[in-house]
Amino acid sequence: MRIVICDDAAAATRTAVDRIAAALRARPASVLGLATGGTMEPVYEGLIAAHRDGLSFAQAVSFNLDEYVGLPPGHPQSYRSYMQRHLFDHVDIAPERTFVPSGEGDPQAASDAYEAALRAHGPLDLQLLGLGHNGHIGFNEPGSSLASRTREKLLTRTTREANARFFKEGETPPRSAVTMGIGTILEARSILVLALGAGKAAAVQGTVEGPVTAMCPGSALQMHPDVTMIVDSAAAADLSLADFYREAEALRRSREGG
């Protein structure tokens, strides 16, 4: 895993935006795996700014990781409406090429349909990931099979509490979600993880240095050959080999001439 430790959240976000923009420039018909959450909002702002400077999404296809079960696409807290608000409405991506799992109807049927769409358009060229405080990726909570496919997952109480901030007061956040599985995520050609702030330090440590275990779903990324983890110094605080990662990154940059 390539670990990039940036001084602060803004620098880490910029690094992630630059990586995504470069991938899209190199391959305009990229199949992008997209994520939601607070961490990604400034990433999408950066991509919208890059679009204004000429970056085109016109040939791209996108697949989001997950959707809440029971929320129609038009619900303000659905991940479909998050994506419209934070990215799709502001760039030139074709609406019919933006895929988000359906939170309506039978979750198993929605999951099977999503896997079929992924097979038809995939593999994903670049999967963007955030990290849950408990190490979840997508909505694959601790205990998820490392070989899992898209399916319905019950959300833990801590995840529901963490995401309650996005819902109106008195509104109960959904108990479950349809999420790409860990096995599905690992099929992406390349994976970019962004984790920011002290609250993510334990999850980052478990993902990068912990044993590969279903108790920290992010740790499954150790099995993938092309993962870049971008963190700020607060999220890197628990990494025992932080100095080594900094040195390795400095060497890589000097060889790349940057």
Site map (CB under 6 A) of ligand GLP, residues 196-225, x = contact: ------------------------------
Catalytic residue flag (residue 92): no
Asked if 108 contacts 152 with a C-beta cutoff of 8 angstroms, the reply is: yes
Catalytic residue flag (residue 238): no
Instruction: Determine the distance from the C-alpha atom of residue 69 to the mean position of all C-alpha atoms in its chain, rounded to a whole number.
Output: 19
- Closer Cβ to ligand GLP, 65 or 192, answer by number: 65
- Closer Cβ to ligand GLP, 35 or 93, answer by number: 35
Figure out which of the listed residues 13, 30, 36, 144 binds ligand GLP, where binding follows CB under 6 A: 36
Figure out which of the listed residues 13, 62, 134, 163 binds ligand GLP, where binding follows CB under 6 A: 163
Q: Is 78 in the site for ligand GLP (CB under 6 A)?
A: no
Catalytic residue, chosen from 64, 66, 125, 163, is 66
Radius of gyration of the chain (CA): 17
Interface with ligand GLP by CB under 6 A: which range of 36-44, 94-102, 145-153, 216-224?
A: 36-44
Instruction: Determine the distance from the C-alpha atom of residue 116 to the mean position of all C-alpha atoms in its chain, rounded to a whole number.
Output: 20
Task: Report the alpha-carbon distance of residue 56 to residue 90 in Å, rounded.
Answer: 11
Catalytic residue flag (residue 134): yes
Catalytic residue flag (residue 121): no
Least Å from the CB of residue 107 to ligand GLP: 15
Least Å from the CB of residue 62 to ligand GLP: 14
- Closer Cβ to ligand GLP, 30 or 159, answer by number: 159
Task: Report the alpha-carbon distance of residue 228 to residue 104 in Å, rounded.
Answer: 33
- Closer Cβ to ligand GLP, 159 or 219, answer by number: 159
Task: Report the alpha-carbon distance of residue 147 to residue 1 in Å, rounded.
Answer: 19
Task: Report the alpha-carbon distance of residue 125 to residue 204 in Å, rounded.
Answer: 23
Task: Report the alpha-carbon distance of residue 48 to residue 120 in Å, rounded.
Answer: 27
Figure out which of the listed residues 42, 101, 107, 130 binds ligand GLP, where binding follows CB under 6 A: 130
Interface with ligand GLP by CB under 6 A: which range of 31-39, 91-99, 114-122, 248-256?
A: 31-39
Task: Report the alpha-carbon distance of residue 37 to residue 129 in Å, rounded.
Answer: 10
Q: Is 35 in the site for ligand GLP (CB under 6 A)?
A: yes
Phi and psi based region of residue 13 (left: phi greater than 0; alpha: psi -120 to 50; beta: remaining): alpha
CA distances to 135, 141, 216, 217, 223 from 213, in Å:
10, 12, 6, 7, 11
Catalytic residue, chosen from 86, 136, 140, 232, is 136
Q: Is 38 in the site for ligand GLP (CB under 6 A)?
A: yes
Catalytic residue, chosen from 64, 134, 140, 163, is 134
Start-to-end C-alpha separation, the chain:
20
Question: Both tokens of residue 100?
Answer: 């988000």
Among all residues, which ones are annotated catalytic?
66, 134, 136, 141
Q: Which residues bind ligand GLP (CB under 6 A)?
A: 35-39, 65-66, 130-132, 138-139, 159, 163
